[in-house]
Amino acid sequence: MRLVLDTNTVVSALLWRGTPHNLVNAVRARPAALFTSPILLAELEDVLTRKKLAATVVASGISPDQLMQRYRRIVTVIQPAPIPPTVLTDPDDDHVLACALAAKADFIVSGDRDLLALKSFREIPIVTAAEAVRALSGQ
């Protein structure tokens, strides 16, 4: 199974022990793969160094650089082609869609309302982390 996670899902997976964290663990335990792009990695790095997350990052005992290294070890970085504007309310979401298209993803995983409202993009389902965990476990 091939997955692309939006940035907020990745942040949740790296910093907390909820469903996104469980999803990343499930991916590592199964024949599944995570994909990202240079733009999504840059966005992740920006988010992890924001003041509003500083206390949480410090509490994790791992620096933003170490969190990035940890994530880079489990993802495949691809260079997607640009796509026409799709998520007009949040154009940054188009980077997630472009990455999923280039990765030939089976699922886009997001908690973002704008992405979830699409339900799919070019026949790639857009699901929550919980739905992705269920799909990985065959439920």
Q: Crossing angle of helices 19-29/64-74, nearest 10°?
A: 40
- Give the mean model confidence (pLDDT) for residues 87-95: 94
What pTM value is reported for the model?
0.95
Radius of gyration of the chain (CA): 14
Three-class SS state of 117: helix
User: Please, which pLDDT band fits residue 139 given cuts at 50, 70 and 90?
Assistant: low
Residue pLDDT, tens place only, 98-121: 999 999 999 999 999 999 999 999
Residue pLDDT, tens place only, 19-48: 999 999 999 888 899 999 999 999 999 999
CA torsion through residues 48, 4, 128, 135, sign: negative
| Rounded Cα gap, residues 126 and 115, in angstroms | 7
CATH architecture assignment, domain 2-136: 3-Layer(aba) Sandwich (3.40)
What local confidence, expressed as pLDDT, does residue 47 receive? Answer: 97
Residue pLDDT, tens place only, 59-86: 999 999 999 999 999 999 999 999 999 9
Question: Hey, where are the domains in the chain?
Answer: 2-136
